[in-house]
Chains A and B, each alone.
Chain A
Amino acid sequence: MTTLTKPEAEPTPQESEHFLSVRDLYVQFATEDGVVKAVDGLSFDLDRGKTLGIVGESGSGKSVTNLAILGLHNPRNTTVAGEIVLGGQELTGASPRTLEKLRGKKMAMIFQDSLTALSPYYTVGRQIAEPYMKHNGASKKEAKNRAIEMLAKVGIPQPQTRVDDYPHQFSGGMRQRAMIAMALVCDPDLVIADEPTTALDVTVQAQILDLLKDLQQETGTAIILITHDLGVIANTADDVVVMYAGRAVERGTVRDILKTPEHPYAWGLLGSIPRLSADVDVPLAPIPGSPPSLLNPPPGCPFHTRCAFTDTVGGDRCRTARPQLPAGRGSACHLTQDQKRDIFIEQIQPRLR
C-alpha cells in the first residue's frame, strides 16, 4: 500500500499561519430579479488536520462559499470579492487554469447526492482514476491500481471486481464511499464535504462519518464539513461557523457553539432539534418566521425579523446597524456579552436539557 502522505506536504513558511483563510468573502449572483447576495462578508480560518463545520439553513450561503473556494461558480453571472488563501496561494483572482490544477489535487469536494455527482456513463474505477491520471501523470494501469487501493481503503468489498462497476450497481452508502475515494485519490490537503451524509440512512451515515474522521487522522487533511445537522457537527467538527443569510453570525469551537452559544439564531437552532435525552412533553422552541430573501435582505442585523431579543438591545440598532463578528470566538449580535450570558443561562439553557 502506498503511503498517503506526500513528500511536498511539508508546511512551507508562508502558510505557517493558517492553511486556509477566507477573508471578507462576497459572492453575488446577478439574476433577472436583481442581485442575490449569497455570501456577504464571510471570514474564517482552517488549519491542517482540523475539521471546520459550517452550519446553516438552506439558502444561508454555505454551499456557495465552498463553490467559490473551488472556483466552481459560473463566472458569467457571479462576482466573487474578498480573499481566499489556500496554503499561501490566493484563489479569488486565480486563473481558471491554476484552479484546474488545484482542483482534485490540493482541494477536493465530496458532494451531497452521489447519484447525480457520479457520471452514469463511466465506471466507478475510471472516475476515481481520472484525477490521478491528470494530476500525477500516471498510466491507465497505475491509475486503476490506485483506484482499487482507494476502494479498498474506503471499505468497498471485492474492490478488484467492483472497480469495473457502474455507479447504478452500487448502493447509496457505497456510492458515497466511492465519492470519498475519488476526493482522496490525490491526497488533497483540503476536502470540502457538502452535506456528505444527508442522503444516507443513520447507520450508514455513522459509518461514513467515522470513515472520514479516521481517514483524516491518517492523512492530516483539512476538512470543511457543510451540514444542517447539529448532531453531525457535534460528532466531527473542531470549529464551527454558524451562517445566516450569507453571513457568519457566530464562530467558535464545537463546544462553544453547542454548549454556550451566544447568538439568538444559534439558540433557536439548538431549541429546534429534539434530543434523544430531552423531556418529551416540552414543546420544541422553533424560530418563528422563515429565512429572509437574499435578493432583498433586511437592513441591520439580518436576523432581526425573527429575533426575540431586539427589544432587549433597545432602540433601532438591530434594524439599522449591522453587528460585526469579532475575530476568533464571538457572535455578530448587538446584545452585550453580559446580556448574552444572562439570557442564555436564564432562558435558553433550561430548555435545552
Chain B
Amino acid sequence: MSEQQTLDQQPSPQKVPTPRDEPGSPLLEVSGLQKYFPIRGGFPIKRHIGDVRAVDGVDFTVGAGEALGVVGESGCGKSTTGRLVTRLLEPTAGRITYRGQDITHANRKELAPIRSEIQMIFQDPYASLNPRQTVGSIITAPMEINDINPPGGREKRTRELLEIVGLNPEHYNRFPHEFSGGQRQRIGVARALALEPKLIVADEPVSALDVSIQAQVVNLLQKLQKELGIAFLFIAHDLAIVRHFSQRVAVMYLGKIVEVGARDDIYQRPRHPYTHALLSASPEADPDQRDSTQRIRLAGDVPSPINPPSGCRFRTRCWKAQDKCATEEPPLIQIEGNREGHLTACHFPQDPTLEAREQDVILDPALAALEETQAEGKTL
C-alpha cells in the first residue's frame, strides 16, 4: 500500500519485524480520555440537549507485554474505553499515545499500520464472526487487508494460527455455525493474532462462555501473553478472572477510574470504598465464607451517566460520603499509605486491609428492614 510509505518512521510490520519492546516500557498511554455521546431531542428541530458521559477523563498506561485489567459494572465505560483505544470510536477529548505517537485523532491512513498492532477480541463469539465466511477467510482477511504475505502463504499461516489457538487446522474450510461458543471465541483470538499485534483489547472475552470453556480460553490468552509478549487491555466484570489474568488492575465507576494499581494492591490493599464493595459483593465458591460478617451491600444501582453526581461520583452510594465529596472531585493520586503506582481517587479512603469491611455496611433499605425484623424476631 502506497499510503503506508508516507507514514512516520515506523517500519511496517510485514517487512521488518519490529523489535520487541522492553517489557514494562509504556506501549499505550491514555490521558484525560473523554467520550460524550450526544443526546438529541426536541421538536420540531432536534437539538443537542445533553450528553451521555460514557468515559469522562480516564488516564492509564499499558506497558509492553503487560496485562491491564479493567473492572467495573455495566455502564461504567469500560467497553467504550476499549473501543476508543482501538479507535473504533472517536474520542471527544483527551490523548491516546501508542508507542510515542499521538493517535487520538489520526485519520484512516495514519491509523492503518497501527490498527494491525492493536487488535480486538469481542465479547459475543456469535455476533463477531461473519456467518457467510469460512474460518479460513475470516482469519486471512486481516492479512489481505494489510497486504501481508507471510512466508509459505496466508493459508499456511492461518493453519498455524488455528493450531496455536487449539483448533484443528483441518477446520479451515468450515463455517462459524459448525463450532461451539468456546471454539468460536478461539477463532476470534486467531483472527486477532493474524497480524502479530503488540496490544490486544479483549472486551469481556469469556463472559459469554460456560465456566469450563471460560477456563480454556483464559488459559489460552494467558499463554499467548506470556509466549508472544502481547500486551492486553483486559476488560471484564468478573473480579476473579481479572485478578487471574492481569498484572495491573483499574477499577472504573461511572466513566472514571477510581482506583488503579498492581494486582495485589487492588485485591489485598484496596483503598477506595467502591473497590471494597465490589470485592465484598463478588461471590466466592466457598461455603465457609458464607456467614462471615464481611459484607457491604450498596443501595440501588449505578446513577445515570447523563447527569452524574457532582464531586465524587460514588458518593450517592458511599457510606463514608461527607459534604466535601459533593463539592470537590477527588483526584486520582497516590494517597498516603499506598504503594508506588497504586492510585486512588477518594477523600476518605478505607484502611489498606481487607478487614476494613468487617463491619456490616447495609445501605439497601429493603434489606436493612428485613434484617431488622429478623433480628427483632430472634430477640423476642
By a beta-carbon cutoff of 8 Å, the part of chain A in contact with chain B is 57-58, 152-157, 171-174, 177, 201-207, 209-211, 214-215, 217-218, 228-235, 254-255, 258-259, 268-278, 280, 283-288, 290-291
Task: Please give me the residue from chain A that is nearest to B366 by CB atom.
Answer: A155
CB distance from A170 to the nearest CB of B (A): 10
Bound-complex Cα distance A324 to B74 (A): 43
Bound-complex Cα distance A231 to B267 (A): 17
Indicate if B51 sits at the interface (CB-CB under 8 A). Answer: no
Most chain A CB inside 10 Å of its own CB: which residue of B212, B243, B284: B212
Most chain A CB inside 10 Å of its own CB: which residue of B267, B278, B301, B302: B301
CB distance from B292 to the nearest CB of A (A): 11
Specify which chain A residues have a CB less than 8 angstroms from the CB of B8 in the assembled complex.
none
Task: Please give me the residue from chain A that is nearest to B218 by CB atom.
Answer: A284
Bound-complex Cα distance A157 to B299 (A): 11
Bound-complex Cα distance A271 to B214 (A): 11
| Given pairs A203-B73, A214-B371, A276-B239, 14 additional interface contacts (CB within 8 A) | A155-B364, A155-B367, A172-B301, A202-B73, A203-B297, A206-B281, A209-B283, A214-B370, A228-B210, A234-B290, A269-B212, A276-B243, A283-B219, A290-B182
Q: Which residues in window 263-307 of B have CB below 8 A to A?
A: 263, 267, 277-287, 289-290, 295, 297-302
5 A-B pairs with CB atoms under 8 Å apart are: A58-B210, A155-B366, A174-B301, A274-B244, A275-B285
CB distance from B235 to the nearest CB of A (A): 14
Indicate if B211 sits at the interface (CB-CB under 8 A). Answer: yes
Instruction: Pick the residue among A201, A255, A271, A275 that contacts B302 (CB under 8 A).
Output: A201
* Chain B residues within 8 Å of chain A by Cβ, number: 53
Most chain B CB inside 10 Å of its own CB: which residue of A152, A171, A201, A234: A201
Instruction: Pick the residue among B213, B297, B302, B364 that contacts A290 (CB under 8 A).
Output: B213
Specify which chain B residues have a CB less than 8 angstroms from the CB of A286 in the assembled complex.
212-216, 219
Instruction: Pick the residue among B180, B282, B302, B365 that contacts A157 (CB under 8 A).
Output: B365
Contacts A206-B295, A210-B367, A276-B240 given: A235-B290 contact, CB under 8 Å?
A: yes
Instruction: Pick the residue among A201, A214, A273 that contacts B240 (CB under 8 A).
Output: A273
- Contact assessment for B73 and A155 in the assembled complex, using a CB-CB cutoff below 8 Å: no
Bound-complex Cα distance A278 to B244 (A): 9
- Contact assessment for B218 and A274 in the assembled complex, using a CB-CB cutoff below 8 Å: yes
Task: Please give me the residue from chain A that is nearest to B74 by CB atom.
Answer: A201
Specify which chain A residues have a CB less than 8 angstroms from the CB of B212 in the assembled complex.
57, 268-269, 272, 286-287
- Contact assessment for B374 and A205 in the assembled complex, using a CB-CB cutoff below 8 Å: no
Bound-complex Cα distance A210 to B212 (A): 27
Specify which chain A residues have a CB less than 8 angstroms from the CB of B240 in the assembled complex.
273-276
Instruction: Pick the residue among A201, A209, A218, A235 that contacts B73 (CB under 8 A).
Output: A201
Contacts A202-B237, A202-B239, A286-B213 given: A173-B300 contact, CB under 8 Å?
A: yes
Specify which chain B residues have a CB less than 8 angstroms from the CB of A231 in the assembled complex.
282-285
Bound-complex Cα distance A291 to B298 (A): 37
Task: Please give me the residue from chain B that is nearest to A227 by CB atom.
Answer: B283
- Contact assessment for B298 and A274 in the assembled complex, using a CB-CB cutoff below 8 Å: no
Task: List the 6 shortest-distance A-B pairs measured between CB atoms, nearest first.
Answer: A155-B366, A231-B283, A286-B215, A272-B215, A274-B244, A206-B281
Q: Which residues in window 323-380 of B have CB below 8 A to A?
A: 364-367, 369-371, 373-374
Contacts A235-B290, A255-B287, A290-B213 given: A284-B277 contact, CB under 8 Å?
A: no
Provide the B215-246 mask, 1 if CB < 8 A to any CB of A, else 0. Answer: 11011001100000000000001011101100
Specify which chain B residues have a CB less than 8 angstroms from the CB of A258 in the assembled complex.
285-287
- Contact assessment for A218 and B285 in the assembled complex, using a CB-CB cutoff below 8 Å: no
Instruction: Pick the residue among A205, A271, A277, A283 that contacts B284 (CB under 8 A).
Output: A277
- Contact assessment for A57 and B210 in the assembled complex, using a CB-CB cutoff below 8 Å: yes
- Contact assessment for B279 and A276 in the assembled complex, using a CB-CB cutoff below 8 Å: yes
Bound-complex Cα distance A185 to B314 (A): 34
Bound-complex Cα distance A215 to B366 (A): 10
Indicate if B183 sits at the interface (CB-CB under 8 A). Answer: yes
CB distance from A169 to the nearest CB of B (A): 12
- Contact assessment for B301 and A284 in the assembled complex, using a CB-CB cutoff below 8 Å: no
Bound-complex Cα distance A245 to B61 (A): 45
- Contact assessment for A153 and B366 in the assembled complex, using a CB-CB cutoff below 8 Å: yes
Most chain A CB inside 10 Å of its own CB: which residue of B73, B366, B370: B366
- Contact assessment for A215 and B290 in the assembled complex, using a CB-CB cutoff below 8 Å: no
Instruction: Pick the residue among A152, A203, A270, A283 that contacts B277 (CB under 8 A).
Output: A203
- Contact assessment for B298 and A276 in the assembled complex, using a CB-CB cutoff below 8 Å: no
- Contact assessment for B290 and A274 in the assembled complex, using a CB-CB cutoff below 8 Å: no
Contacts A202-B237, A280-B263, A286-B212 given: A259-B283 contact, CB under 8 Å?
A: no
- Contact assessment for B290 and A269 in the assembled complex, using a CB-CB cutoff below 8 Å: no
- Contact assessment for B366 and A154 in the assembled complex, using a CB-CB cutoff below 8 Å: yes
Specify which chain A residues have a CB less than 8 angstroms from the CB of B218 in the assembled complex.
274, 284
- Contact assessment for B210 and A254 in the assembled complex, using a CB-CB cutoff below 8 Å: no
Specify which chain B residues have a CB less than 8 angstroms from the CB of A270 in the assembled complex.
285
- Contact assessment for B297 and A206 in the assembled complex, using a CB-CB cutoff below 8 Å: yes
Provide the B150-189 mask, 1 if CB < 8 A to any CB of A, else 0. Answer: 0000000000000000000000000000001011000000
Bound-complex Cα distance A305 to B263 (A): 37
Task: Please give me the residue from chain A that is nearest to B290 by CB atom.
Answer: A235
Most chain A CB inside 10 Å of its own CB: which residue of B239, B281, B287: B287
- Contact assessment for B374 and A218 in the assembled complex, using a CB-CB cutoff below 8 Å: yes
Contacts A58-B210, A202-B239, A276-B243 given: A290-B180 contact, CB under 8 Å?
A: yes
Most chain A CB inside 10 Å of its own CB: which residue of B74, B222, B284, B374: B284
- Contact assessment for B285 and A233 in the assembled complex, using a CB-CB cutoff below 8 Å: yes
Bound-complex Cα distance A10 to B120 (A): 59
Most chain B CB inside 10 Å of its own CB: which residue of A215, A270, A276: A276
- Contact assessment for A273 and B367 in the assembled complex, using a CB-CB cutoff below 8 Å: no
Specify which chain B residues have a CB less than 8 angstroms from the CB of A287 in the assembled complex.
212, 215
Specify which chain B residues have a CB less than 8 angstroms from the CB of A209 in the assembled complex.
283
Specify which chain A residues have a CB less than 8 angstroms from the CB of B373 in the assembled complex.
218
- Contact assessment for B282 and A57 in the assembled complex, using a CB-CB cutoff below 8 Å: no
Specify which chain A residues have a CB less than 8 angstroms from the CB of B295 in the assembled complex.
206
- Contact assessment for A274 and B241 in the assembled complex, using a CB-CB cutoff below 8 Å: yes
Task: Please give me the residue from chain B that is nearest to A284 by CB atom.
Answer: B215
CB distance from A26 to the nearest CB of B (A): 24
Contacts A201-B237, A272-B212, A286-B219 given: A259-B287 contact, CB under 8 Å?
A: yes
